[in-house]
Structures are given as C-alpha cells and as structure tokens.
Amino acid sequence: MKFFGIAALVAGLLAPSLVLGAPAPGNEGRNLLTPVDKRQDFQAEGYGGGGGGGCNSPSNRQCWSQGFNINTDYELGTPNTGNTRRYTLDLTETDNWTGPDGVVKEKVMMVNGKIIGPTLQANWGDYLEITVINRLKTNGTSIHWHGMHQRNSNIQDGVNGVTECPIPPNGGSKVYRFRATQYGTSWYHSHFSAQYGNGIVGSIVINGPASANYDVDLGPFPLMDYYYKTADQIALLTQQAGPPPSDNVLFNGFAKHPTTGAGQYATVSLTKGKKHRLRLINTSVENHFQLSLVNHSMTIISADLVPVQPYKVDSLLLGVGQRYDVIIDANQAVGNYWFNVTFGGSGFCGTSQNPSPAAIFRYQGAPNALPTNQGIAPLDHQCLDLNDLKPVLQRSLNTNSIALNTGNTIPIKLDGFVWRVNGTAINVDWNKPVLEYVLTGNTSYPQSENIVQIDGVNQWKYWLIENDPDPRTVSLPHPIHLHGHDFLILGRSPDVDPASQTRYVFDPAVDMPRLKGNNPTRRDVAMLPARGWLLIAFRTDNPGAWLMHCHIAWHVSGGLSNQFLERAQDLKNSISDADKNAFNDNCNAWRGYFPANDPFPKPDSGLRVISGVKAREVKLDW
C-alpha cells in the first residue's frame, strides 16, 4: 500500500484565505436578480408564495393553503395541486468559449445555452416533468435532483450506474417525473459528477411556507468555484496530486477577473426598510465558502430543504452541495455593500486565485458605484457547518439506545489518491445499474457497488462516519450528501482547525453524553471534520437505492461513496410497468453506444467520465 505526504495533497491550498472585497476596476455590474424570472421556462406566482391559496403573504409566511402550513409534516402530507410543471433541459457543449471573466476555456457544457441552466420552479405538491436531451458529443449523462426525496420515485433520482443507465450522447433523451413533496431551495446537476463542473447545473425553487416573514423573495443565488481547465482535466490531475485553487468564483454566473478587471460583479437590489429572502446554493466541485454581507446580518430560515427556527448569523459556511435560505433586513443607510466570499480552515476548505471574490448588494437609490467599505474578516468557521439549527418539524431520538458496531460504522480512508469507504472504492457499472439487480431479483451485488443493505420498515438507523483513521495520510473535511433522505446530525467530533490534524476517535464514555437527540439539526449535506467523526441517523421510510457520497467532485471520482439499498423488495414492488419500460429503453439505447462506440474508456468510479478532452500529458502547474 502506498501513502503520500501532506505536502502533495495540500499543494496549492495555502493561498491567502481571509482577504475581503478588494475590487478590480471597471464595469461594476448590473442587477442579476430583478430579471431572473425571465430565465424560467415556467413562472409560478412568484418566488416564495402566492400559489398557496391566498393565505401566504408578507405578514404571514407560515401559512400556505387550507390544511397546509409551516407545521405540516411534509413527509406525511402534501398539497394536491393537480399541476404538472414541464421543462426541457437541452445539454450542449462549446469549445473555446469566452467565460464571464474574459478568459477563454477549452470546453464548457451548457444547459439551454447557459453554464447555469434555467431555474426549475414549482409549488409545493406540484409534479415536475423534465425532458433532458443529451446533445453532448461523446458523454453520457444523468441529471440528479439534489435533495429531492423522491418518495416512491427512486427510479427518477438520476444517478447513472445506480438508478439508471446514462442517457446516450448525440440526441439521447429521457423524461424524469417526480412530485415536489418538500419545499424550499435546491439544485440539479449531472451525476457524471465532475461533469457538472463544466456547467451542467441549475437551481430548483419549490414555493411553500416559511418560518419567518419577509417582503421580497430575491430567488436563487448559486455560487460556484470556477476553473479555466475543464473539470475532467482537473479530475485526472487529482489522481496524482492535490487539487488546484479555483481560478475564480461565480456569483449567479458572473465574476470579475482579479487582475484584468474583465467581467462584472453580480449586483443584488435591496429596498430600504424591506426584508429580503435570498436562496444561497453552493454548486461548487471543491470550494466551501464563508459568506458575509458588510454591516448586515442574515437570518437563516431553512437549511437544505429543512425549515428551521429563525437563526441570526453575521457569517456562515456554505459547504459544497449545501443550501441556506436567509432573510436580509435592509435596515442600513442607502448605499452599496460588499457580499464577500472568504476561505477558512487554513486552506482545507479550498482556495482561489481570486483573493477577494465578491458581489454587490445595492440599495435602491444608491449610486451605481463600488462599495467603499471592505468590511472585516468573519470568524474562521474551520470548514465546519452549523450544528445547532432547530428544525420546525421536530424529530427526536433517545441517544442512550444507540449501539455502534462494525455494521453501522463507516470508515473513510485515503489510499494513495483513491478514496475507500468501508474498505471499497465505489465503481458503478453504467451498463448494469443497481436498480436492474432489484428489478430482476438478482441479489448477487458486486462488491465494487459498495452496497449496504437495509431492511425493516420505519426504523431509525444510525451511522458513525469516521474520517481517515490512518495517521500516515492527510485528512480533509468532506461534505457528506445522502440521497433520498434528510439525516439527523446527532453529533460530531470536537471543533478544531483541520490543519491541526487532531485525531478524534468516537469514545462512548466521553462522546455519548455529548450527543443531541432532542430535535437536532437535520439536512442532506453535512461537513465531516478532518480526522474526526460524524454520527447521523435516518428512518427507513423511503425504499430505494440511495447514494451517500462526498460532494467534492474529485473525491467521488476517486471512489468516496457507498450505496444504501433500502427495503429492496418494497422498492421492486413500487416501480410501475411504465417506469420499467422507460428504464429498459434507456439502458438499451446506452448499451448501443457504450462501450463499442464510445471513444473514451471508463477512467474511474463511474460517477465521473472524460468529457471529450483527449488524454494528454498533464503538468502540475499550481
């Protein structure tokens, strides 16, 4: 077994991490959020409300419609709207494309002609019907609807090699259909995982009630690390070295080049005296962001798709894949204010070549000028997210009943540049997804699928995730994402700077009393501390083949994933004949393409693939 030192893995991670809003000269931008509804294929009655039967208003956001409000258990009841919202996502690729900060990229992939696709918007209880057309030249694809529980619709989860075969290139298509049983903010992306780093991403807004009142819903505001190399080139490079810093950070698709001044700042309009809801999404492949707005606080009302009791912060860490809905009270003097991204954790949360990524929040009536107050660096979050949020819809467990053993302990280990979970680096089979085993009653699952079988109905299952127990390798924080469920965060190892590489092993005598079972934070992405542990729980109330993985694209590419196969027989019984036929048709179309007609081999876990960029000698130039 080969081990590599810390220097190789953190090369390029030690750029300045807490520098604020030093703007480059030039065009200071335009308002991106006021016209955002023009980018929708469907425009509901407005972000955040209006479609709930008339009771949802700025003075009563807790109400939605008759019999449905913020206290409704959305896992048990969903409004019957009778509506289906239809979208078409057309995937294409472009070579030698000039990016938002003026730099030409060798290749990008787009959704409906943009590197950030259209927002999918619906009301709580609507069905979404989404046709995906794959016009990429050599890549298959699948589109995952991040955070959507897919209750009784696991086959629509959009994970190639797990719930479907990839959609073949050059015009292949697939129709996804599922119900919005939750509400809030999320996103969609390719699950050829690093492929989404080339541009195949977009936001999802499901209008519903909220835990606090606000006047204006500004809509989704995705943030994304941005690289001049293709995601595939970087994924190959990370097979022999640590990742590079991002070249820039996109705010809703816009960026300013830190040295040339090309591009423009994203600009968000605020109205003095009004409360504004902003839907923050981290669609990055590697960077976690510390976010702060100069002279303003933010009140969190939702974490991922879980409404929470209002929680005021001056800054927050937005990990890869995470979402926060926040309310910003425009109670300051009319003017321009920097919305800053910083990097903490001694570089272990990612870094950027742009020392001061920022957007502008501009009060109506303020001059069209750059802000003058850079603000102060926020508290270093040490790559750790908030674990004291209180969900509105409560879930509580008796932590004294938890019994941990090898059956529910999940170690994550770095072996060279391969990530192993439970001793196995996942390697899915595009031509034979796990769901095919379920549909045919074949239980001879390959070890490479890294399956954990779960039986029992509506039972709480506990999982202790341990991060890199081997002291000879560097340990990194991981944003752990679970499909098909929110999970309760019962506890994690003590909060320390990840650069300290302090090893914490779960000790029942010490750590059991520290666990929180009374309505703990619940979400679908949580940060696993470097060389520490995370204890989560979810209930077996949603049969499916559900992936759990690190949402850093290079890590899932390197194998950092396992599958929970939950109640396989119930899953099989729940799939309709029509869905089976669509599944088989898509797999037959894919098998007609791969491997015989695909010019590129399968290079890794199967959750990321070469995107038509020819293999070549690569230089580690960061």
- The pLDDT value given to residue 417: 73
Nearest to 478 by CA among 425, 533, 423: 533
Q: Are 430 and 162 in contact (CB under 8 A)?
A: no
CA gap 470, 46 in Å, rounded:
51
For residue 72, give Cα distances in angstroms to 62, 306, 412, 478, 517: 10, 12, 37, 32, 21
CA gap 114, 77 in Å, rounded:
36
354 contacts: CB under 8 Å, gap ≥ 6:
246, 247, 248, 249, 255, 257, 258
- Beta strand segments in 496-587, E: 522-523, 525-528, 533-539, 544-550, 561-566
- The pLDDT value given to residue 16: 33
Q: Are 100 and 354 in contact (CB under 8 A)?
A: no
Mind listing the pLDDT tens digit for each residue in 153-204? 999 999 999 999 999 999 999 999 999 999 999 999 999 868 999 999 999 9
As given in the structure block, the two tokens for residue 58 are 């700025």
Q: Are 485 and 538 in contact (CB under 8 A)?
A: yes
DSSP letter (8 states) at residue 235? H
- The pLDDT value given to residue 602: 57
Q: Taking the CA atoms of the chain, what radius of gyration do you get in angstroms?
A: 23
- The pLDDT value given to residue 12: 34
As given in the structure block, the two tokens for residue 195 are 């492929």
CA angle 351, 354, 355 (to 5 degrees): 80
Q: Count of residues for the chain?
A: 622
As given in the structure block, the two tokens for residue 500 are 């300290």
For residue 56, give Cα distances in angstroms to 27, 50, 71, 264, 323: 39, 6, 14, 36, 22
Q: What percent of the chain has pLDDT over 70?
A: 88
For residue 224, give Cα distances in angstroms to 57, 87, 126: 32, 23, 28
CA gap 159, 191 in Å, rounded:
6
Is the predicted pLDDT of residue 42 greater than 60, yes or no?
A: no
439 contacts: CB under 8 Å, gap ≥ 6:
572, 575, 580, 583
As given in the structure block, the two tokens for residue 230 are 């293709």
Average pLDDT over residues 452-462: 95
User: Residue for token digits 């340990």?
Assistant: 475
CA gap 423, 413 in Å, rounded:
8
CB atoms within 10 A of CB 214: 23
For residue 550, give Cα distances in angstroms to 310, 482, 556, 561: 28, 9, 6, 7
Q: How confident is the model at residue 557 (pLDDT cuts 50, 70, 90)?
A: confident
Torsion of CA 357, 248, 480, 611, to 10 degrees: 160
Mind listing the pLDDT tens digit for each residue in 280-289? 999 999 999 9
Q: Are 321 and 263 in contact (CB under 8 A)?
A: no
Dihedral of alpha carbons 269, 273, 275, 281, sign = positive
As given in the structure block, the two tokens for residue 234 are 């970087």
Mind listing the pLDDT tens digit for each residue in 285-306? 999 999 999 999 999 999 999 9
Residues 117-137 as b/e (b if ≥16 CB within 10 A, e otherwise) read bbbbbbbbbbbbebebbbebe
For residue 212, give Cα distances in angstroms to 209, 268, 388: 9, 21, 18
Mind listing the pLDDT tens digit for each residue in 82-98? 999 999 999 999 999 99
- Three-class HEC string of 580-593: HHHHHHHHHHHHCC
Minimum mean pLDDT range among 19-33, 102-116, 204-218, 246-260: 19-33
Residue 556: which H helix or E strand, with range?
Answer: helix 553-557
- DSSP, collapsed to helix, strand or coil, labels residue 529 as coil
105 contacts: CB under 8 Å, gap ≥ 6:
96, 97, 98, 99, 228, 230
Cα of 264 vs its chain's centroid, Å: 25
Mind listing the pLDDT tens digit for each residue in 420-431? 998 888 989 999
For residue 213, give Cα distances in angstroms to 47, 70, 184, 262, 387: 14, 12, 14, 38, 23
β-bridge pairing 460-467 and 533-539? antiparallel
Q: Are 241 and 620 in contact (CB under 8 A)?
A: yes
Q: Are 244 and 157 in contact (CB under 8 A)?
A: no
Global pTM reads: 0.90
Q: Indicate left, alpha or beta for 164 from its phi (over 0: left) and psi (-120 to 50: alpha).
A: beta
Q: How confident is the model at residue 34 (pLDDT cuts 50, 70, 90)?
A: very low
Q: Which residues pair with 276 in a beta bridge?
A: 216, 328
